[in-house]
Amino acid sequence: MVKEVKKVEEEEEVVEEEVVEVEDDDEFDDEADKAEGIDYKIENVVATVVVEITEKIDLNIIARKHADVEYNPERFPGLVMRILKPKATILIFSTGKMVVTGMRKASEADRVVEKVLKNIRKAGIKVSNPEITIQNIVASGDLHTNIDLNMAAIVMEFAMYEPEVFPGLIYRMPDPKTVFLIFSTGRIVCTGAKKRSIVREAVKLLNVQVRELGVAKKELGQSDYQDITFI
């Protein structure tokens, strides 16, 4: 969920700034998760931002003000701005829309957007009322067992496996709604979730499914991991 709070900053001029705080969805006990066989980490959080503008943003002005940005309208219509802390890459468009990528936590979005708006305002451009929406969370993980992908493609509903095209099985989990790439080594990629809690739930469910459906096969190859017992 996205909440809006008003925050007034006093600098040389008094500027009223609305900051959108993204609900902190990152407080989980990683060790407890691993004890349950839930082994994953967030690789990327993607958010979109819409700000109010009085006129189209002149991206050339921002590019002249900040030497560390990238703007080549002949190749791409957006300006690329990078924030180091928290680390993120932001695509800024003249319409007031932005795309933020590279974050590791959804809760970092509000701080990233604050810094972006400050940089835009330093170029003399008025922007306000940012609305932040988390669009996608990408996570990688490990099921700690080899997977018989041919069998999985048969017994797992909503699964697709074409090894001549792509080495992984694509599994569209209906609830929670996510998409997994599953590899024979047990490595996985989860995408489509908008909260870390959803990623956690989906990975936990997939761990159970591959074992209950009999597609977890240690004999397919050597593995450094022991099979996981679920309580």
Residues 150-185 have pLDDT tens digits of 999 999 999 999 999 999 999 999 999 999 999 999
- Amino acid occupying residue 23: E
Same domain, 148 and 124: no
Query: Which CATH number covers residue 154?
Result: 3.30.310.10
| Alpha carbons 192 and 176: distance in angstroms, whole number | 10
| Alpha carbons 160 and 166: distance in angstroms, whole number | 10
Give the least confident one: 36-40, 64-68, 93-97. Answer: 36-40
The two beta strands, 14-22 and 2-10, are antiparallel
DSSP assignment of 14-45 equals EEEEEEEEEP------HHHHHHTT--EEEEEE
| pTM, 2 dp | 0.79
Of 135, 154, 171, which residue is a domain's last?
Answer: 135
20 is in which domain, residue-wise? Answer: 2-29+46-135
Looking at the 3D structure of the chain, how many domains does it have? 2
Percent of the chain at pLDDT above 70? 78
Domain-embedded: residue 38: no
Of the two residues 8 and 207, the one the predictor is more confident about is 207
pLDDT of residue 113: 97
Residues 82-92 have pLDDT tens digits of 999 999 999 99
* Residues ≥6 apart with Cβ < 8 Å to 67: none
| Alpha carbons 20 and 17: distance in angstroms, whole number | 10
Same domain, 168 and 119: no
Same domain, 104 and 14: yes
Same domain, 11 and 94: yes
Q: What is the mean pLDDT of residues 6-23?
A: 37
Helices (H), the chain: 30-35, 59-65, 109-122, 149-155, 196-212
Of 135, 170, 205, which residue is a domain's last?
Answer: 135
Domain-embedded: residue 41: no
